């Protein structure tokens, strides 16, 4: 399927004169992972729409292949997370954060929860590499995520439930997103040492913070016009006014908003880096955290 075909559904559902979402009309328009080498991008957004959900997107052949993951990705290999395919999105959507107006398709607030690159690792039963797009078509793709929060091997697997056989209504296929153990268990060892993800589960979407701006859903909803779109890494901001510092830090983004009470407690003494942030995210998981 060509890039244009892949995005037709996306464009058909949106009114770009009324929303600030990227249209994907400029092929060069990209979210800014150029500093990450040649690896394709991934992004996980939290979308506070009619139903709160996570959107898991992988760059494949010029578009973001997308799944809606109601509970969000888990870092615990024992959790199989439902992933429902949604329409391809343009690459530029990787850094979209803001408010889609009520009444529009997907109306609600979006934050970029995690982003980074991934290494496709799909292979066949004889352990020969398989092109990633092909593996998706076959219904089983494996990849290693290099995000700020999510790190390690994951798999997306389509399963054929009863809906496949029930004819009549053409229901969409269902997938599972699972954290997989690497062959030598090294990813789990890394976890124990505090890198990447800790004990599994998913952060509370309402308390989770953007990997781009450090903001929560509520903070984005309250100031939807705060700059979130910086594809060129320049200092200019849409909407004029003050010019905040550029966000193009390779490790950590400057914060745009005044610290909240939670920040004052949580950030004041924390060292920089995704590890500290991931730990904090794990702490706030509360009852949804299955292993702590
Ligand atoms: Mn969504």
pLDDT in tens, 118-151: 999 999 999 999 999 999 999 999 999 999 999 9
What is the tens place of the pLDDT at every residue in 184-242?
444 443 443 333 343 456 789 999 999 999 999 999 999 866 554 444 444 333 433 33
Distance CA 52, CA 17 (A): 25
Cα(66) to centroid(ligand 1), Å: 9
Cα(176) to centroid(ligand 1), Å: 17
Does 239 map to a domain?
no
Cα(172) to centroid(ligand 1), Å: 16
Cβ neighbours for 252, distance < 8 A, ≥ 6 positions apart: 272, 273, 274
Q: Specify the pLDDT at position 227.
A: 52
Overall domain count for the chain: 1
Cα(68) to centroid(ligand 1), Å: 6
Q: What is the mean pLDDT of residues 36-44?
A: 87
Which range (77-81, 124-128, 137-141, 256-260) has the least confidence? 256-260
Does 183 map to a domain?
yes
Does 104 map to a domain?
yes
Q: Specify the pLDDT at position 24.
A: 77
Cα(271) to centroid(ligand 1), Å: 32
Domain that holds residue 209: 3-20+30-162+169-225+252-288
Cα(265) to centroid(ligand 1), Å: 31
Does 38 map to a domain?
yes
Instruction: State pTM to two decimals.
Output: 0.67
Higher-pLDDT residue of 28, 211:
211
Does 240 map to a domain?
no
Does 56 map to a domain?
yes
Cα(216) to centroid(ligand 1), Å: 16
Does 143 map to a domain?
yes
Contact present, 202 and 82 (Cβ < 8 Å): no
Does 280 map to a domain?
yes
Higher-pLDDT residue of 193, 101:
101
Cα(120) to centroid(ligand 1), Å: 24
């Amino acid at each position: 399927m060509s890039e244009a075909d892949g995005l037709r559904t996306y464009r058909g559902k949106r009114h770009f004169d009324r929303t600030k979402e990227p249209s994907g009309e400029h092929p060069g328009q990209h979210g800014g992972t150029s500093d990450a080498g040649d690896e394709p991008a991934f992004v996980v957004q939290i979308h506070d729409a009619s139903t709160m959900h996570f959107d898991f997107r992988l760059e494949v052949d010029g578009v973001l292949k997308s799944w809606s993951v109601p509970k969000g990705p888990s870092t615990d290999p024992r959790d199989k997370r439902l992933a429902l395919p949604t329409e391809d999105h343009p690459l530029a959507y990787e850094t979209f954060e803001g408010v889609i107006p009520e009444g529009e398709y997907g109306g609600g607030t979006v934050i970029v929860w995690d982003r980074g690159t991934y290494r496709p690792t799909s292979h066949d039963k004889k352990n020969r590499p398989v092109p990633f797009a092909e593996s998706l078509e076959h219904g089983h793709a494996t990849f290693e995520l290099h995000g700020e929060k999510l790190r390690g091997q994951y798999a997306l697997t389509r399963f054929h439930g009863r809906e496949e056989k029930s004819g009549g209504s053409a229901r969409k296929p269902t997938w599972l997103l699972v954290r997989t153990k690497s062959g030598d268990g090294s990813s789990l060892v890394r976890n124990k040492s505090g890198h990447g993800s800790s004990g599994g589960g998913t952060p509370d979407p309402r308390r989770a913070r953007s990997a781009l701006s450090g903001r929560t859903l509520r903070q984005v909803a309250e100031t939807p016009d705060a700059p979130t779109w910086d594809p060129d890494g320049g200092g200019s901001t849409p909407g004029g006014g003050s010019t905040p510092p550029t966000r193009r830090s390779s490790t950590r983004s400057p914060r745009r908003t005044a610290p909240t009470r939670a920040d004052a407690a949580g950030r004041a003494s924390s060292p920089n880096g995704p590890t500290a942030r991931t730990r904090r995210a794990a702490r706030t998981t509360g009852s949804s955290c299955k292993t702590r």
